[in-house]
Amino acid sequence: MNVSSLLVLLATSVFALSLGGVLILTNAADTDWSYAGDLGPGHWGKLFPEFAPCEEGNAQSPIDISDATEVDLVEVEFHYGETERTKQNITNNGHTIQVDVSDGSYVVYNGIAYDLAQFHFHSPSEHTIDGEAAAMELHFVHVDRNSNALAVVGVLLVEGEDENEAYTNIFDNMPAEAGEPETMAEPIDLEALLPQRRGYYTYQGSLTTPPCSEIVRWLLLDTPVELSRAQIEAYTALYSGNARPVQPLGKRDLLRSRR
């Protein structure tokens, strides 16, 4: 390993730590990118040396989901509870609305436990199904307890008839302006944010934001969750277009669980 790859590894670790709930605001690079213009996705790889994977990587995310190979896969085991009031913050971080949780919720996948650190939203969805984007996508970011590998569970959010009450507490508390984390008054029932059916697509990929580190096992649930139009509009009034374009699948396997 040469010095530059060590630096990339270091930058990756720092970012993973910030995902782990330790908010690192000294990393100026983290804020100096955008979804449009000169700081947009097509330029990310050249903005900072540690963002190089954004253009040089070959296992990037998101991707278009099509022609997935159906196979028997293990279940994603969700161990989600209610958040504790003292440990749940909601932040408008300038790129999305993010809720940090650190109350012992986790998933087990292929025998590995990944702790839930935070969840956040994109609009439109980052992953597309046969070229079609959903209104929104929710990302539950989990960190392997023994490495800096991540497992991100993606949930597609689509427009339905009714208000989804599991999400009311979140959408009613989104800070309108980017700034410091705000404590949420009421706990969140994390399990209720998920669809009932847990079939999924999976592939090995990256963070969809700089530094685009290729450390993510993606688990995209194949059943969407419905929100009311008003709920979707509450989010898109703050963030619309915070989705990285899809990246080439390349030689990677894209699998779908048989169910």
Residues serving a catalytic function are: 95
Which part of the chain contacts Zn ion (CB under 5 A), choosing from 81-89, 131-139, 222-230, 239-247?
A: 131-139
What is the per-residue binding string for Zn ion in 183-222, x denoting contact by CB under 5 A? ----------------------------------------
Which part of the chain contacts Zn ion (CB under 5 A), choosing from 33-41, 77-85, 139-147, 211-219?
A: 139-147
Find out whether 167 and 99 touch, Cβ atoms under 8 Å.
no
How many residues does the structure list for the chain?
259
Q: How far is the CB of 208 from Zn ion (least distance, A)?
A: 5
Q: How far is the CB of 216 from Zn ion (least distance, A)?
A: 10
Whose Cβ is closer to Zn ion: residue 76's or residue 220's? 220
Query: Which secondary-structure segment (H or E) carries 7?
Result: helix 3-19
CA–CA distances in Å: residue 119 to residues 25, 28, 58, 129? 18, 22, 25, 21
Which part of the chain contacts Zn ion (CB under 5 A), choosing from 83-91, 132-140, 184-192, 195-203?
A: 132-140
Find the residue with minimal CB distance to Zn ion.
Answer: 139
- For β-strands 216-221 and 150-159, DSSP reports them as parallel
**How many residues bind Zn ion, per CB under 5 A?**
1
Tokens of 244: 């990285």
Whose Cβ is closer to Zn ion: residue 36's or residue 165's? 36
- Nearest-angstrom CA–CA distance, 204 and 201: 11
What are the backbone dihedrals phi and psi of residue 182, each rounded to the nearest 5 degrees, phi first? -115, 140
**DSSP 8-state secondary structure symbol assigned to residue 82:** B
Does 139 help bind Zn ion (rule: CB under 5 A)?
A: yes
Binding footprint of Zn ion on the chain (CB under 5 A): 139
